[in-house]
């Protein structure tokens, strides 16, 4: 008898706990949350692509790092001297979009930090001024400390019409060429692939 009473009391309690899943609002929120998570994961995968670790110009290396390109491209043929020095360029292609990373050093001689989110832009052959691009999950955009020289990386979204001609990086009014006027075939980089460049001749 006592076992029957225990079951009789326990079942309604369990039923009450499960009743929340009978509400349509709960299921709508769960579906929307799952859809949002899938969208974020797919977007990140599309941005990062997939490259085999340790292989330059192929799949596996994380393009979302916040440091300049690796040491093998730092002693490059880019123009040296001045406040702004370009260290290396890497182009990651996703479909028709070319996420272009530029590693550089900058001697900030002002008394205020320089915000790359506001001051960095890429100037194309057609005269377009493309703003720097930052992803929310990679942290805050790099800041160039006042009164010192520091390294940073900025990223820009380019279309195929932008990548073919001359490109120049502008940081706070200081400008350096990162690509010469030499014509570049956008199809030279396969979709979801990338290439690194250590000079302006590409």
pLDDT tens profile 183-196: 999 999 999 999 99
Alpha-carbon distances of 56 from 69, 128, 182, rounded to whole Å: 11, 29, 22
Judgement on whether residues 114 and 39 belong to the same structural domain of the protein:
no
Contacts of 61 (CB under 8 A, 6+ apart): 51, 53, 55, 194
Here the CATH number for the domain that contains residue 181 is 2.60.40
Determine, yes or no, domain membership for 148: yes
Please count the structural domains in the chain.
2
Averaged pLDDT, groups of 10, the chain, 202 residues long? 45 51 71 69 48 36 42 52 89 95 94 91 96 78 92 94 96 94 95 94 92
- Residue 55: inside a domain: no
pTM above 0.75, yes or no: no
**Gyration radius of the chain's alpha carbons:** 25
Q: What is the pLDDT of residue 19?
A: 58
Residue 145 located in a structural domain: yes
Give yes or no for a contact between 111 and 147, defined as CB atoms under 8 angstroms apart: yes
Task: State which residues form the domain around 7.
Answer: 2-48
| Phi-psi sector, 49: left (phi>0), alpha (psi -120 to 50), beta | left
- What span, in angstroms and rounded, lies between the C-alpha atoms of 101 and 61? 13
Residue 58 lies in a domain: no
The Cα 101–Cα 118 span in angstroms is: 17
Per-residue pLDDT, 18: 52
H or E element, residue 6: helix 2-18
């Amino acid at each position: 008898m006592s076992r029957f009473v225990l079951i009789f009391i326990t079942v309604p309690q369990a039923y009450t706990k499960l009743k929340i899943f009978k509400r349509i609002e709960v299921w709508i929120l769960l579906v929307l949350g799952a859809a949002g998570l899938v969208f974020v994961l797919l977007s990140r995968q599309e941005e990062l692509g997939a490259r085999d670790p340790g292989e330059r110009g192929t799949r596996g290396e994380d393009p979302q790092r916040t440091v300049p390109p690796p040491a093998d491209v730092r002693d490059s043929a880019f123009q040296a001297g001045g406040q702004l020095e370009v260290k290396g360029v890497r182009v990651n292609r996703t479909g028709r979009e070319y996420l272009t990373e530029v590693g550089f050093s900058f001697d900030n001689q002002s008394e205020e930090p320089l915000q790359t989110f506001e001051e960095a832009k890429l100037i194309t052959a057609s005269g377009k001024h493309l703003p720097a691009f930052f992803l929310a999950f990679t942290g805050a955009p790099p800041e160039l400390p006042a009164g010192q020289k520091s390294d940073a990386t900025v990223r820009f979204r380019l279309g195929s019409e932008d990548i073919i001609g001359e490109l120049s990086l502008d940081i706070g009014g200081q400008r350096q060429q990162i690509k010469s006027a030499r014509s570049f075939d956008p199809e030279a980089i396969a979709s979801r692939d990338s290439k690194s460049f250590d000079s302006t001749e590409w």
